[in-house]
């Protein structure tokens, strides 16, 4: 799975998000900014993001994804 594919999946799954990816195809990190995170705890944000790629992680297509989430105001 390429960084572009991960980025597209996250952007499609999180309304109004800006996603910045780093790393390689199977071990990568994402910085995600979205108002969808308003009022959510860090754990809830993590679950939201990782839920979008759980099948890819389960299949091994995506080995690991490190996530940092921010609302536009936290940026």
Q: What is the pLDDT of residues 40-73, one digit of tens each?
A: 999 999 999 999 999 999 998 888 899 999 999 9
> Is the Cβ–Cβ distance between 32 and 48 less than 8 Å?
no
The answer to which of 3-12, 17-26, 63-72 has the lowest mean pLDDT is 17-26
**Mind listing the domains of the chain with CATH numbers?**
3-70 (3.30.300.90)
Give the model's pLDDT for residue 48.
97
SS3 37: helix
pTM of the model: 0.90
CA–CA separation, 42 and 61 (whole Å): 25
Nearest in space to 67 (alpha carbons), one of 5, 11, 19: 19
């Amino acid at each position: 799975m390429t960084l572009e594919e991960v980025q597209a999946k996250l952007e499609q799954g999180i309304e109004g998000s800006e996603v910045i990816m780093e790393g390689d195809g199977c071990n990568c990190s994402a910085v995600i900014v979205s108002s969808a995170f308003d009022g959510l705890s860090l754990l809830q944000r993590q679950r939201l993001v990782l839920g979008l790629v759980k099948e890819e992680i389960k299949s091994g297509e995506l080995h690991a994804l490190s996530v940092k989430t921010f609302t536009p105001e936290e940026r």
